Structure 1
C-alpha cells in the first residue's frame, strides 16, 4: 500500500480542491493510504473525505500571516505518517513543503501549481531559490508550463504538464434536474447563462456583467446565474444596479450542486483575467454546455473556437458579448452539437482515470530526473 501525503494551502470549494477530491477518491479505491494537510483550517468536502477514509489535518495557520511553527508541525505529521510521496498544491504549500524538507527526509516531493499566475516577482524568486528541494514541479496547462519556464519559476527539465481530470459520470446532463430546477427557480424556457466561481478580482465579473448588459439588449429574456462567494459580491451587486440589470442577474451564493445547475443552464460563461486549467470548464464541457470564455491560461485547451464555444480577449466586454450572442443565435440543435463535441473531447483528454494512472506512474518513480519528466511532458 502506497502512502501519499497531500499538502494544500487551504481547502475550500474551488478548482484545485475539487481536483484533489477526485484524486483521493480514485487512489483510495486502489488501496492507497492518504493524509491531507491544509495549511489553514479546511472548510470544504470534509464529509466526503471522511467517507473515503482520508485523514485530514490542519497546520492551523492564519491567512496572510507567516508562521514558522508550521514547518515543525508539518515535520511532526510527516514523521508520524511516513509517506512514500509528498505532493503539495499551490504556491504557499509548495514553498512550505520545500523548506520543510531541510528538516525531515522526504522520499519524493512533487509540487503542483494550478495557475498561470501565483503572485509577483518575490514568489517566482522563492520558487527559484527552493527548486533544488523539489523533485518535480507540474502545472495544469501547457500555457502555464511554458510561462513558468519563461519566468524561471522552474527549469525546463523539472516541470511538466499534468492536466486536471474529471469524472464524467458526475456531470452527465440530467433532463429531470433541468426541469425540476428551472421549475423551482421559475426560469421557464429562457436562455440561462451560468457562471461558477469565487467572487474575486481575478475572475473579472465586472467584464462579465458589462458583457451581459449588452446581451440583454438583444435577448432581454435571458438570465445570468452566478454561484459563488467572495469579497467582490457587494461591489458587483452595486454594478448590477448601475447597469439596471434588475432581475436578469441572480447571485446564488455558495452552491454544492454544480451538476444540477449545469443541467439547468444553456451556456457556460467565464470572464477570468488569468487561469490555469479551470476545473469548471471541464465540468461545463462534460455537462454538454457550449462555452463563452476569455482566452487566458489553459482555457483554449478546453474551449476550441467554433467547435464547443467561443473565446474572447480578457477584459473586453464587447468581445465577450459577441461570443455569447453567437452561441445564443444558434438553433438548439447546433448548440447541442457544440455541447456534444465538448463532452467527447473532455472524455478523450481529461478522463480522471487516465490522469490518475499518470500520477501513479510518477508516484512510482524512485527518482525523477530529466528523462522521467520528458516522458510525461505531453498532454
Structure 2
C-alpha cells in the first residue's frame, strides 16, 4: 500500500507528533509513505525536519492554510495519480479542504485524521469555513479517524458524516518513552528554576493561544496563590511562529501576569525540549484548554505520575476518576480550575503519591500508543482495499 500523508501545520506539537508515530507505524508494517507538508518554520522543531531525518520523502506544494485553492488541489491530485497513491490521509483541520478534494479528484480513498474539535473562528467567514469543511468530509471522506469519542461524536452530529464512516483511534503515547523518576535530576531542575523544596509546582504545557485557555488559568492562579503562597506555576510553550493572533495572545498573557501581580509565582518558560524532565520536577498538572481532540500533554502528565486538573474540553477521559487521578472541571471558567488545584494542595504527600501511581496505571491501561498505532494501520489497510 502506498500512502500520502499531509500536514498543514509543520510544528511538532500534538497532531504532528501523532502523525509522526502513524507514518512510522505504516512504514514498519511494510507500506510506503510519502508526505506533503507546509514548509517548516524558520526556528523551532518541525514535523518536516523529523520526517526527513527519519528518511521519509517530503514535498511542498503551497500554502494549505489559505482559502481553498483549486490549483493546489489539482497539483496534489496530479501528484497522487503520478505516484500511484492508494490512500490519502491528512493530520490537520487546515489541509482537509485541499487533501480531501485532491483525493476525490484522483479517485482514491480519503481517510482524514480528526485530531481536534473544530473551531473555525467567528462571524460569516467562520461559518463559511465550517460549511466547506462539512461538505468536504461528507463528499470526500471514506472513513474519518477520530482522536477521541468527543471528536467522533462531533464528526457525526455536527458535520453529518454518515454512521459507520467514523472510527475512534484514541490519541495515546508510549509510556516506556517517559523518563523514570530521578530524584537527583528533579532537584537539579528545581534549583535551576529557582524553586525551593517547600514549593508545590504545577505545570501547564501548550501553545500560548486562545484554544489552550490560559486566560482562564491565570485569574484562577491569582486566587489560588493568595491561599497557598508556596504554589508555583510553570507555563511551558509559546506562540506559534509567524502566527500573529497567537503572538498577540502571548503578549496579553505576559501583561496579565503583571496585572494580576503573580510574577513571583508564575514562570513563562517558552518552548522547551526538556518537557518530560520539567514534568518530573513538578508536583501536579493543570490543563485549561477550551477545546481539544485529546491532549497529549495530559497523557504525558499522567504518565509522569502527576495528579491532573483538566477542563472537560473533550469530556472525561476514559477511566479518569475524580479524587483518584485528579479533577475534571468545567471549561471556560476560572473558579473551578482554582478549586481543583486547591483540592490537590490540600492532600497529604502520601495521598498525592497514591494519586500519581493511579495516573500512571491509567495511562498504561488505556492510552498506550503501541496498541493504537497497530489499529490505525489496520484501519488504513481496510480503507485502501475499499
Shared fold (TM-score, shorter chain, > 0.5): yes
Secondary structure of the residue aligned to 1:192 is strand
Q: Does 1:240 align with 2:257?
A: yes
Q: 1:216 — aligned with what?
A: 225
TM-score by length of 2: 0.88
List runs of 5+ in structure 2 lacking aligned partners. Answer: 121-125, 240-246
Q: 2:352 — aligned with what?
A: 335
TM-score by length of 1: 0.89
CA distance in 1, matches of 2:226, 2:40: 45
Deviates more, 1:232-241 or 1:115-124: 115-124
What is the count of residue pairs matched by the alignment?
A: 367
Cα offset, 1:109, TM superposition: 1.7
Deviates more, 1:16-25 or 1:279-288: 16-25
1:240-266 Cα offsets, whole Å, 9 max, x none, are 111100221111111122211111111
Cα offset, 1:47, TM superposition: 4.0
CA distance in 1, matches of 2:361, 2:85: 37
Cα offset, 1:152, TM superposition: 3.2
CA distance in 1, matches of 2:29, 2:350: 41
Cα offset, 1:183, TM superposition: 2.3
5 Å-filtered alignment, 1:136-285, equals 136-175=143-182, 176-189=184-197, 190-230=199-239, 231=247, 232-285=249-302
Q: 2:244 — aligned with what?
A: none
CA distance in 1, matches of 2:215, 2:383: 48
1:80-125 Cα offsets, whole Å, 9 max, x none, are 432333111222212212211343232x320121122232543442
CA distance in 1, matches of 2:7, 2:160: 19
Q: 2:2 — aligned with what?
A: 3
Q: Does 1:348 align with 2:362?
A: no
* CA gap 1:302/1:84 in 2 versus in 1, 3 angstroms: farther
1:43-102 Cα offsets, whole Å, 9 max, x none, are 614443233222222223174454333213322432343233311122221221221134
CA distance in 1, matches of 2:383, 2:147: 23
CA distance in 2, matches of 1:367, 1:27: 13
Q: Does 1:112 align with 2:120?
A: no
Large movers: runs of 4+ above 6 Å: none
1:267-294 Cα offsets, whole Å, 9 max, x none, are 1111111221111111111111110111
